[in-house]
């Protein structure tokens, strides 16, 4: 039995060799083109791949029931924009904390947190880029400028880090990075509105 978003599918498990084929077939359906799979349950147990194409190794002879749960891409984007707002607030807090640690000459603590901040910032930029292309391609020049400024600032900060000039790095974080993060909150708010508008359009379209 194959269940897709609560509805039993006419597809049958035994028509396929493995779980990967089942998922691929389900995703070929036109109705699934604008949806993202969030959960796959096999025999009522959550399945998630630990390595690529693990679903291919799960033979259909072991499967009695597959349930696939999906959400519309715009709904997924809405929950991501909510998370992004939290992330941006964390970026601000972490930036201030790193600057404080450097000023207190607590370099070990500062560098550990700074490494995390770089990673979060990179993920944030990637995610905002994806959402923007999908939902806010006509976004304002402010949007472009803020993201570019953030990107350029991080390049500059990495160079300063290589020179181990911690006080200059603390200054940059406090006087340039933190104001930029505040500005970026507006970008996330704009993105959230674009995504909401897209969701409304999908519902009425």
Per residue in 43-86, pLDDT tens? 999 998 888 889 999 999 999 999 999 988 877 888 888 888 88
Do residue 167 and residue 82 come from a single domain? yes
Last residue in a domain, options 29, 45, 64: 64
Do residue 156 and residue 84 come from a single domain? yes
Q: Which two structure tokens, joined as six digits, stand for 154? A: 């991080």
CB 99 within 8 A of CB 174: yes
Q: Whole domain around residue 81: which residue ranges?
A: 75-204
Number of domains making up the chain: 2
Do residue 135 and residue 200 come from a single domain? yes
Do residue 15 and residue 108 come from a single domain? no
The answer to whether the pTM exceeds 0.75 is no
Do residue 131 and residue 158 come from a single domain? yes
| Confidence tier at 168 by pLDDT (50, 70, 90) | very high
- Residue 117's nearest CA partner among 105, 132, 99 is 99
User: Which phi and psi angles does 46 have, rounded to 5°?
Assistant: -60, 135
Q: For residue 26, how many other CB atoms are within 10 A of its CB? A: 21
What's the rounded Cα separation, in Å, for the pair 49 and 175?
Answer: 43
Is residue 122 situated within a structural domain?
yes
Helix (H) or strand (E) holding 186: helix 178-204
């Amino acid at each position: 039995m194959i269940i897709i978003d609560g509805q039993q599918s006419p597809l049958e498990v035994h028509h396929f060799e493995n779980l990967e084929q089942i998922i691929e077939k389900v995703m070929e359906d036109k109705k699934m083109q604008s949806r993202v799979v969030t959960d796959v349950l096999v025999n009522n147990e959550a399945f998630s791949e630990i390595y690529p194409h693990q679903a291919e190794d799960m033979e259909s002879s072991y499967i009695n029931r597959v349930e696939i749960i999906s959400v519309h891409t715009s709904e997924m984007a809405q929950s991501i924009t909510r998370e992004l707002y939290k992330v941006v607030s964390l970026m601000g807090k972490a930036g201030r904390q790193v600057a404080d640690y450097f000023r207190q000459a607590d370099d070990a603590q500062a560098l550990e947190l700074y490494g995390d901040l770089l990673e979060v910032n990179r993920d944030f930029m990637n995610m905002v880029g994806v959402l923007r292309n999908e939902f806010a391609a006509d976004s304002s020049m402010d949007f472009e400028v803020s993201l570019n400024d953030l990107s350029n600032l991080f390049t500059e900060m990495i160079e300063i880090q290589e020179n181990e000039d911690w006080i200059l790095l603390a200054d940059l974080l406090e006087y340039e990075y933190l104001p930029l993060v505040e500005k970026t909150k507006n970008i996330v708010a704009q993105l959230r509105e674009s995504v909401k508008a897209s969701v409304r359009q999908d519902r009425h379209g």
